[in-house]
Amino acid sequence: MLHFSKLAGATWLAASLLIGSASAQTVLRSSDTHPDGYPTVEAVKYFGELVKERTAGRYAVEVYHSAQLGEEKDTIEQVRSGVIDLNRVSMAPFNGLIAETTVPSLPYLFRSEEHMHKVMDGDVGNQIAAAFDQVGLVLLAFYDGGARSFYNSKKPINTLEDMKGMKFRVIQSDIFVDMVAALGANATPMPYGEVYSAIETGVIDGAENNFPSYDTAKHAEVAKFYLLDEHTMVPEAFVMAKSSFDKLTPEDQAIFKQAAKDSVAKQRELWTAKVKESRAKVEAAGSQITTPDKQPFIDAMAPVYEKHVKDAKIKALVDAARAVQ
Ligand code: GTR
């Protein structure tokens, strides 16, 4: 027997699987745009296993991968209103909603993956995480999203000059739109699930993403030219509806937080392996990777900083991130 209980706007699926005594199991739904097996999907599944184990089966997590619950922007609204309990999304679509998420989305802010980890694991990361509270969310973990680079179906790109007039899909964030404009190209924000056919039909020339997304979303099939410009290293966010989190006892809240923390190491390990695997796969399938001199790209981003790093609070976070050694 299954029954749905509506609690503070959230639909909790209480399965009648009785564990030991008379305690029912609450199944929490989690969304992800990526397919099964992708490092973020596997990390959330791992989180779910830990939660289940540490709550003696009172809670379980069901991961709805492959955008089964919708595209990122829509699922962000769903988790904010408590329609879904958990969501794993990029930080970028939060840029217009939570000013602090601007910081890790900025082009070339992080000097390396190690720098990004130190920033996100430290005080700057904690401040960014705390800001999710304003929009009805609890930030459970930051996961790796690697470096995003441009790819297209038309030609190999080597210099800034080659970017002129090209049409790229970007993730739905103004920073990304401005980033592309600063490079002399045109940006079209659109949901992830529409990118493949938009490239295939020539509506856009290409998009920008890390190797695992370029590979698993099959964009490599239709856009063979990958420019390793690594313009941003925006991390992924794993969030929980505050309405769902607030229903947990303080002990269970601590279990959820710790399980999320423990899933980070797992995700990073899976991520590193996936980047290698995807890069090798797309290269073997004929993708042509060009490695530009990054300095002109870095210099071109000045207007993006001028526009998006005005507020004193954001400026302080950017300075603090840069100061992390
Ligand atoms: C991926 C990210 C997804 C999604 C996608 C996109 O790198 O993991 O969550 O944001 O990019 O470009 O829409």
CATH architecture for segment(s) 148-233+279-323: 3-Layer(aba) Sandwich (3.40)
Q: Which atom of ligand 1 is nearest to the CA of 92?
A: 10
How far does the centroid of ligand 1 lie from the alpha carbon of residue 251, in Å?
33
Indicate if the pLDDT at residue 20 is higher than 90.
Answer: no
CATH of domain 2-145+235-276: 3.40.190.170
Which residues contact ligand 1 via a Cβ below 6 A? Answer: 33, 72, 89-90, 145, 171, 192, 209-210, 213, 236
pLDDT for 6 equals 40
Distances from the Cα of 75 to the Cα of 24, 40, 137, 194, angstroms: 27, 16, 12, 16
Q: Which atom of ligand 1 is nearest to the CA of 191?
A: 13
pLDDT for 192 equals 98
- What does DSSP assign to residue 284? H
- Atom 11 in ligand 1: residue holding the nearest Cα: 209
Quick one: pLDDT band at residue 15, thresholds 50, 70, 90? very low
Indicate if the pLDDT at residue 306 is higher than 70.
Answer: yes
Q: Which atom of ligand 1 is nearest to the CA of 146?
A: 7
How far does the centroid of ligand 1 lie from the alpha carbon of residue 144, in Å?
11
How far does the centroid of ligand 1 lie from the alpha carbon of residue 175, in Å?
15
pLDDT for 24 equals 82
pLDDT for 23 equals 66
- Token pair 């800001």: residue: 131
Quick one: pLDDT band at residue 11, thresholds 50, 70, 90? very low
Packed helices 123-131 and 312-323: angle between N→C axes, nearest 10 degrees: 150
pLDDT mean over 20-38: 87
Indicate if the pLDDT at residue 320 is higher than 50.
Answer: yes
Q: Are 124 and 66 in contact (CB under 8 A)?
A: no
Q: Are 8 and 247 in contact (CB under 8 A)?
A: yes
Task: Give the pLDDT confidence of 165-176 residue by residue, as tens digits.
Answer: 999 999 999 999
Task: Give the pLDDT confidence of 206-220 residue by residue, as tens digits.
Answer: 999 999 999 999 999
Distances from the Cα of 104 to the Cα of 101, 125, 266, angstroms: 6, 9, 21
Probe ligand 1: pick from 44, 66, 72, 270, max atoms within 8 Å of CB? 72
pLDDT for 2 equals 38
Query: Which of 159, 151, 167, 269 minimizes the C-alpha distance to 210?
Result: 151
Task: Give the pLDDT confidence of 123-135 residue by residue, as tens digits.
Answer: 999 999 999 999 9
Quick one: pLDDT band at residue 14, thresholds 50, 70, 90? very low
- Residues 6 or more apart from 21 whose CB is under 8 A from it? none
Domain boundaries for CATH 3.40.190.170 within the chain: 2-145+235-276, 148-233+279-323
Q: What is the mean pLDDT of the chain?
A: 94
Query: Which of 308, 289, 298 minimizes the C-alpha distance to 223?
Result: 289
Give the pTM: 0.93
- Residues 6 or more apart from 292 whose CB is under 8 A from it? 157, 158, 159, 227, 228, 229
Quote the CA–CA distance of 186 and 123 in Å, as a whole number: 35
pLDDT for 9 equals 38
Indicate if the pLDDT at residue 194 is higher than 70.
Answer: yes
Question: What is the percent of the chain with per-residue pLDDT over 90, rounded to a whole number?
Answer: 93
Q: Which helix (H) or strand (E) holds 297?
A: helix 295-300
- Atom 10 in ligand 1: residue holding the nearest Cα: 90
